[in-house]
Amino acid sequence: MFAGARRITALTGAGVSTASGIPDYRGPAGVWTKDPAAQRMSTLESYLGDLEVRRAAWRRRAAHPVWLAEPNPAHRAFADLERSGRLRALVTQNVDGLHQKAGSTPSMVVELHGSATGTVCVDCGSPGSMRAALERVQAGEDEPDCPACGGILRSTAVLFGEPLDPEVLRRARAAVVDCDLLVAAGTSLTVQPAAGLVGLASTAGAAVLICNAEPTPYDGLATAVVRRPLAEALPELVAIAPIDDAERAAPLTTWGDPSTWS
Ligand SMILES: [Zn+2]
């Protein structure tokens, strides 16, 4: 299946980054599994409405392992897949920036849930870097404000319950209907609309490969399910030599690319 794929779209989730020391949300040791209150505190409404929630968020960010995390072999496998010329897009639910750090081209990465590496002012819209804001926290500020207007800074990561950027979602949908293989890796496929991308890919005719430690609601429509650790399984999959185009019986056809229609 992997050898035969010519245009692969990947959908990745927290499970890709757990080997880098970043806890997931819904797994057995997940942030929200262990502390359901943390999920309720992750809404924009509670963040904007409560100074204590914001102070706690800044303390949590400053202590978060994401700032020291390094990519693991699962991230590097997707960078290798891109270099092989078969990656259509890398759609991720992760906000940690580790795909880019592993060598994936930023324009190939579709960050469904935004990025935790940036800040934006909710009052004037000024963008900034999370690193700069956290340096102010480490220097003693309990809530760094907007350098331009003094407004509230938030992370550019999408908060719980917040709608996704429509343009980002459009790019993700375009990529899943324009592949012959969708690889969903390290995602529980329980969060919409990200999970629905798997059904969309399948409807559009792509084969679906699910690589996840736990069962997902989409396992039934997958062509194959891989339960092995991603840091082992993904490099092995990507190392499989593709079938030579000259040996193929059928031309590439994707629903999303009219130039492949015959
Ligand atoms: Zn501002």
Q: How many whole angstroms separate alpha carbon 111 and alpha carbon 107?
A: 10
179 is an annotated ligand-binding site residue:
no
Q: How many whole angstroms separate alpha carbon 171 and alpha carbon 237?
A: 25
Positive or negative, the CA dihedral 111, 25, 219, 193 is: negative
Nearest CA to 14 among 59, 82, 86, 66?
Answer: 66
pLDDT of 31 strictly over 80: no
Query: Which residues touch 70 (CB under 8 Å, ≥6 apart)?
Result: 20, 98, 101
SS3 25: coil
Q: In this structure, are strands 181-185 and 8-12 parallel, antiparallel, or unpaired?
A: parallel
Quote the ligand 1 centre to 119 CA distance (angstroms).
11
Quote the ligand 1 centre to 75 CA distance (angstroms).
34
Averaged over 4-17, what is the pLDDT? Answer: 96
pLDDT of 30 strictly over 80: no
Q: Which domains are assigned to the chain?
A: 1-22+71-113+163-246 (3.40.50.1220), 29-63+116-157 (3.30.1600.10)
pLDDT of residue 160: 77
pLDDT tens for 204-249 read: 999 999 999 999 999 999 999 999 999 999 999 999 999 988 888 8
pLDDT of 3 strictly over 70: yes
**Percentage of the chain lying above the pLDDT 70 cut:** 94
pLDDT of 29 strictly over 60: no
Nearest CA to 260 among 206, 183, 202, 197?
Answer: 206
Quote the ligand 1 centre to 209 CA distance (angstroms).
44
pLDDT tens for 61-89 read: 888 878 889 999 999 999 999 999 999 99
Whether the model pTM is above 0.85: yes
Catalytic residues: 113
Q: Report the 10 Å Cβ neighbour count for 68.
A: 9
